[in-house]
Amino acid sequence: MEAPEKLIAAGQLCRLLRTKTMFYRWDQLNSLPGELHGPFWCARTQRPYGPDGGLVEPEHCRPGRACCECG
């Protein structure tokens, strides 16, 4: 899976999705597998669930979800 920043910029993930790996330096990321790792949280709620009460995960925080801010 691509870096979350790229997926967010492409409108494939909600711009409010957060994970700790989004805050790592690039040289640290090169040693990690190329997939998103949790825990995940919503930047709006600051919780592991979104404004709609649903779980915050890359599989769920996509276009079509009522609270998704994509694109």
pLDDT in tens, 24-55: 666 655 555 555 667 899 999 999 999 999 99
Q: What is the pLDDT of residue 19?
A: 86
More confident residue, 69 or 34: 69
- Do 1 and 17 contact (CB within 8 A), yes or no? no
pLDDT at residue 68 greater than cutoff 70: yes
Encoded tokens for 44:
């709006």
Query: Is the confidence at residue 65, as pLDDT, over 80?
Result: yes
CA gap 24, 55 in Å, rounded:
23
